[in-house]
Structure 1
């Protein structure tokens, strides 16, 4: 039997992932929700695995902070590189060692991995609802209208040349 607060957890992840910047959100989704390997994610973005680990660390810190976890940024580039390695290791092995300052970030990432199926379903549902919303349809028509106006202006300028 689940506790009444348990269903809210995937919702907080869904909300947080939708409110984060697009690239960090996509990296977290690719690595932790879809469960792709670090190397596959790095290949997807066309960057070295170590660079992906650093970007994933930054995204994970942003996610933890968004969820009000007591996370903090690394104080130096060396600490950031070390934390990125430790986070990558912690996501692969449950017995991996990491400093206490990194614990809120690791716990947030592991929790997201555990809830990945529910979060993936929730993200798909939220995206479907956003696409069907009246606001989204209005924005789409306004974009089309703007393109049509630009094309008309371009044609008018081209044809009105002597």
Structure 2
């Protein structure tokens, strides 16, 4: 499902990931662990398209997504729950959910939308209770739930947390 081959990436001319190979099968859960500065965030950001790799390949279901913009990688099926939540302070929970929901489109047979705003609030009922509240009014935990809900509403095949 997700295949990284020879992935090399970094920041400002410095290399953090050195020829990384990783394969993640459908229906599995994987954790990347390491000390501060080991490259965990760089890995996640490179897979999600926030950092362009200097070499190597990122493939999702056999389809090359390397170096594509983050929005195209998200549409291809890779969802990201960002560190630090990145909730829009002035938008309500309901507005976040409506903006994040990606209903299936014609020709989208391989990516049916399994996550709807109703299903997300069923999974995370506190968000349903706070639908009218703005992002700035949510607790840190509620903001994290909202960040997760936003990622799920894209019905990703791979979810990066």
Q: Same fold (TM over 0.5)?
A: no
Q: Which structure shows the bigger proportion of residues in helix conformation?
A: 1
User: TM-score, with normalisation over the residues of structure 1?
Assistant: 0.29
Q: Which structure shows the bigger proportion of residues in strand conformation?
A: 2
